[in-house]
Amino acid sequence: MASLYPYQQRVKALIQSGKSVILQAPTGAGKTRAALAPFIEAFFQFPPERFPKQCIYSVPMRVLATQFEAEYKDMAEKYARIYREAMVVRIQTGERSDDPKLEGNLIFATVDQTLSNFLNIPYALSLRQGNLNAGAILSSYLVFDELHLFDPKTMLPTTLHLLRTLRGITPFMIMTATFSDEMVYSLAKELNATPLVLSLDETAAIPSQHKTRRIHVVESELTAETILEKHRSRSIAICNTVDRAQGLYEALCQQANSEVEVRLLHSRFLRSDRQAHENWLRREFGKDKLAYTVESAILVATQVVEVGLDITSENLHTELAPAASILQRSGRCARYQGEEGDVWVYRLPIEKGRPQYAPYLGEQKVICERTWSALSERSGEAFDFGSELAVVNQAHGETDRMIIEGLRATRFYIADRIAATIEAQERGAARELIRAVDSRTVIVHNDPESIENPWIYEGFGIFRGSLFGAYDKLKILANELGINWVIMTADPLPETESSRERTVWQWRHICSKEDMEGALIVAINPRLATYSPEIGFRLGIRSDGEWISSWRKQERLRREFTPYRRETFQEHVTRMIHVYERTFYDQRAQKERLPLADEIAYVAQQLEKKYNWPLGTLDNLIRWVIALHDLGKLDVRWQKWAHHWQDELSKLRGEDLRIPADYLAAHTDYNEQDEAEKALNLKLGRQRPNHAAESAAAAMEWLSDHIGEQALARAALTAIVRHHSAGASGRHGAFHAHPAAKKNIGEYARGRKRNSVGSA
């Protein structure tokens, strides 16, 4: 790979020394490489105690995760051949849940996935497994990209609390191109991070910044005529709403000559069609002009092209938006070294005498007008990074100050809310702490009441305001067509907490806008909506009713588990210790994986330094937790059940699987793929005594006596109680040790004493 730019070298030195960084650099300046270079070098060249062996790179949009994963997976393969060590690169988004347990070394994830794991309410796992990934989040090198896109009321405060928690424990990096100075330096102070804003000299040293991009304001609305008037070979037009983008696309198709190919991209395409448009866009607007297959092309799009698409154009037309968004959009014009281009910013459409600011409402409307004023003062000028920062400061500075004050004022409330969410595993808190999704999923179907589960259909996310605004139009059109229903929604019927049955959905008609308030998914009459691969989904359009929503593509296959084989308590503990301290072969990735001990070595050492614990304290504690986590199985009742199970299984399989009286089982034989054994498990499983909380109760006195730090003892007991379920309360039954239990624990303890390298 090419050598690093000077600023990337500075970032690498800071991060590898354990410091955290907030980086502000222009689009196309190599921020992603700056963030990942220190991790990649450390992964292949540093011992595990010098730098985290896992990196979670979080982005606000799934298209960014997809792009980065493809790029760095190829790079990891090249490094693996050089260093003969594998780096597993994976992606974790709502659309591609390839790594739900965060087992990769370099993971590209959406911020929603990262924060939900931190909060113990993982989107990709059950609540029972809610604590499984929290350790990965807290022990990884964390990167948060495009921070300016984080909602200041939900996602941003939670992210800052997470990073505040990690100060001095593990390094992290925040990146943006469009924060005000106020925001950058205030966040750096709050998080004890190093602010790094590229100077004009540093920017000028980056070849990709050697280009000319002018920004103009236009005192009229964006139209097909103005686009065609300025068009040469590649133009992009960006509207703030899907409806306006669709209308502009149709106008361009009517007015452009046959030599110009016009395409549309927004959020209301089926996944396969959207991917096809994105692939076309990367080819026809990418850096490699020899790959172009059409001489003249125009793209009409919405905010979906603001980040994540490595494309360029000669002319970019955009409706007025906040400065941060305008400048992100501008990054799709004259993007590459030596290019020259123009960005044209237009006034918003007027309806009923008012500008249509949506989706930029509230304070965002004020920012839009400040943006217009700032750009008007520089209209026609060539913009460099200094000019961009001046516009951002003028447009966003005051609002950013208000955001910072709000973050400080609510800091302790957010901390308490996060702690309560982690403890109670309250999924509903996601609206407050991650993302307040104010949209409804819309499907099209001619008979919704026949649908057992509406979520198996591929739908479109439409903002509540847009759906409410379309309601009257839909009613009028339905009356014209003589249709007896317009919209329906499905409600889940109440069920008991312990129910194992599928959720039952009950459909009802929506007869007013108020009926849509609590609806998460709605079905539209197919006569009132259309879809095409070229223009996407449209509401309130007269249709023949032939098109209806299709089922989602089922990509996740049911995982089949290897049958259990019986093992003694000592065998189980020994095997778990081996899993912790030795490399293992990842069957799915088909690569050798690092020991779990290596993955937590860095954060363990940092915690020991921070709290003045002896070196090796946490490693020693982890080994004891592994040894004691199934102590409850040494209870006489649990062993009685295990022996009875083996007796019954022997009869079922027709072979002698019985175990002797002094055999202290930790696991029994069991094949969940066998229907007869599943039935036996249902019959006898209810009789099996609990063991997790009982293990903690049995170990409590010993841990309290032998672990000098009581906070560590409590943490160890919590881990034992919750090793099967993140929500376990700690309530436990009596523990009556089997006569042979003392001998088992004594033998393990003597072995630990001989091999121990640290003492708690």
Residue 150 near residue 159 (C-beta atoms within 8 A) = yes
- Neighbouring C-alpha atoms within 13 Å toward the C-beta of 396: 26
Percent of the chain at pLDDT exceeding 90: 68
Nearest in space to 228 (alpha carbons), one of 60, 344, 400, 95: 344
Q: Are residues 379 and 235 in the same domain?
A: yes
The predicted structure's pLDDT at residue 590: 64
Q: Does the residue 122 lie in any domain?
A: yes
Same domain, 217 and 197: no
185 and 237 in a single domain? The answer is no
Res 586: pLDDT:
67
User: Quick check: is 47 in a domain?
Assistant: yes
**Which one of 188, 204, 220 terminates a domain?**
204
What integer pLDDT is reported at residue 465 of this predicted model? Answer: 80
pLDDT tens digits along 480-515? 999 999 999 998 776 433 333 456 788 999 988 888
Q: What's the predicted TM-score (pTM) here? A: 0.87
What mean pLDDT do residues 363-385 have?
A: 96
The pLDDT assigned to 456 comes to 87
Q: pLDDT > 70: what percent of the chain?
A: 94
Residue 607 and residue 711 in one domain: yes
At 275-291, the pLDDT tens digits run: 899 999 999 999 999 99
Q: How far apart are CA 81 and CA 98, in angstroms?
A: 24
Q: Is the pLDDT of residue 76 over 90?
A: no
Q: Are residues 583 and 626 in the same domain?
A: yes
**Domain-located, residue 469:** yes
Tokens of 486: 């317009």
Query: What is the tally of structural domains in the chain?
Result: 4
The residue segments making up the domain with residue 510 are 439-539
What pLDDT score was predicted for residue 758? 38
CA distance 467 to 440: 8
pLDDT at residue number 64: 81
Both 589 and 705 in one domain: the answer is yes
Mean of the pLDDT values across residues 323-327?
Answer: 95
Query: Bigger pLDDT: 8 or 662?
Result: 8
CATH of the domain at 25: 3.40.50.300
pLDDT for 409 equals: 94
Tell me if 666 is assigned to some domain.
Answer: yes
Q: Which of 175, 204, 233 is the last residue of a domain?
A: 204
Question: For residues 273 and 563, what is the distance between their CA atoms, to the nearest angstrom?
Answer: 41
Torsion of CA 451, 455, 459, 463, to 10 degrees: 110
* CA distances from residue 381 to 28, 217, 257, 319 in whole angstroms, order as listed: 20, 11, 31, 19
Residue 418 within any structural domain of the chain: no
pLDDT tens, 708-753? 788 899 999 999 999 988 888 888 888 888 887 777 666 656 655 5
pLDDT, averaged across the chain:
90
Last residue of a domain, one of 383, 400, 426: 383
- Looking up tokens 């103005």, which residue turns up? 226
Instruction: Tell me whether residue 529 is in a domain.
Output: yes
DSSP summary character for residue 518: T
pLDDT of residue 759: 38
Whether the per-residue pLDDT at 434 is higher than 80: the answer is: yes
Could you report the per-residue pLDDT of 242-259, keeping only the tens digit for each? 999 999 999 999 999 999
Considering the domain architecture, whether residues 157 and 232 belong to the same structural domain is answered as no
Spatial separation of the C-alpha atoms in residues 199 and 189, rounded to whole Å:
20
pLDDT digits (tens, 9 = 90+) for 149-206: 899 999 999 999 999 999 999 999 999 988 888 899 999 999 999 999 999 999 988 9
- 484 part of a folded domain: yes
pLDDT score of 125? 85
Is the pLDDT reported for residue 446 higher than 90? yes
Same domain, 18 and 158: yes
Q: What pLDDT sits at residue 730?
A: 82
Burial of 237 (0-12, 13-18, 19+ CB in 10 A): buried
Closest CA to 60 of 128, 155, 130, 197: 155
Q: Is the pLDDT of residue 27 over 90?
A: no
pLDDT at 463 over 90: no
Mean pLDDT of 512-532: 89
- 594 shares a domain with 497: no
Q: Which DSSP letter does residue 635 get?
A: B
3-state helix, strand, coil in the chain (%, to 5): 45, 15, 35
Is residue 450 a part of any domain in this protein? yes
Looking at the structure, tell me whether residues 173 and 222 fall in a common domain: no
Side-chain-side CA neighbours of 672 within 13 Å: the count stands at: 8
For residue 529, the cross-strand partners are: 539
- Report residue 88 CA to chain centroid gap: 18
Region 580-596 average pLDDT: 76
492 and 513 in a single domain? The answer is yes
Q: Is the pLDDT of residue 606 over 90?
A: yes
pLDDT confidence of residue 222: 98
pLDDT (0 to 100) of residue 749: 60
Residue 734 has a pLDDT of 87
The model's pLDDT over 528-580, given as tens digits with 9 standing for 90+, comes to 999 999 999 999 999 999 999 998 765 443 445 578 899 999 999 999 999 89
Q: Would you give the end-to-end CA distance of the chain in angstroms?
A: 44
- Contacts of residue 483, defined as CB under 8 A and 6 or more positions apart, other chains included, come to 525, 527, 528
Which of 175 and 702 is assigned the larger pLDDT? 175
Segment 666-675 mean pLDDT:
91
- How far is the C-alpha of 334 from the C-alpha of 313, rounded, in Å? 6
Residues 658 and 577 in one domain: yes
Burial of 717 (0-12, 13-18, 19+ CB in 10 A): buried
- H-type alpha helices, 261-315: 271-284
Which residues are within 8 A (CB) of 480 and not within 5 positions of it... i.e. 6 or more apart?
none
